[in-house]
Copies of this chain bind each other. A is one copy, B any other.
């Protein structure tokens, strides 16, 4: 198909497609003339993946390139792939307090989770520990164990969700979409569950505010 049709099929504007092409986020089409190229379904899928990462994930061009490099390096190592994407989706804080990071890894080992010390999510969790102490809410740290147990259920649902898909682009897309949309969904569900639980504990029988 021509770039116009690619734009129609993918819902991505032509100038944006051209930007992705220039940035190497989308493989070039097959030249049919000096100023014309043909694209196929792989381009539609790739565009959807790039959009999921940029629009939903808020990923930088550089982060998207890293992830696509992993996609395009022939691999069936889903473990490694999940790691790359999930890390690309996490802003690793510059500096973390090593003592807080130790605490985080006490929890991680306690749970029997395998993950190394450089994992950005471990570092951003350490940042939360530090912030909680700074604002005099160390009690929040005590809740982490139960948060972690709930997170295990979530992660199992996440991996089952990813297993709905086949084809590396779709799998990756599902990881990005699941992580990004999933975080919004979980934040919302948490508030709804808080409302329900709070009503269960303290509520009158009036309709909930």
Interface residues of A (CB under 8 A from B): 48, 51-52, 56, 77-80, 82-84, 86, 89-90, 108, 111-116, 119-122, 124-125, 127-128, 131-132, 135-137, 139-140, 142-144, 146-161, 164-165, 173-174, 177-179, 181-204, 207-209
Contact = CB atoms under 8 A, between A and B. Distances in A.
A193 B48 CA distance: 26
Contacts of A154: 146-147, 150, 190, 193
Contacts of A90: 188, 191
A192 B135 contact: no
Given A125-B192, A154-B190, A158-B190, 14 more contacts: A56-B131, A80-B209, A82-B194, A82-B198, A83-B195, A116-B208, A127-B184, A137-B174, A139-B165, A139-B174, A140-B161, A147-B185, A151-B190, A159-B197
Across the A-B interface, give the 3 residue pairs with the lowest CB-CB distance, nearest first: A155-B193, A113-B196, A121-B191
Given A128-B181, A131-B181, A181-B132, A186 B151 contact: yes
Q: Most chain-B Cβ atoms within 10 A of its Cβ — which of A120, A156, A157?
A: A157
Contacts of A174: 137, 139
Nearest to A112: B196
Contacts of A187: 121, 124, 183, 186
Number of copies: 2
Nearest to A193: B155
Contacts of A144: 185, 189
A203 B78 CA distance: 8
B198 A122 contact: no
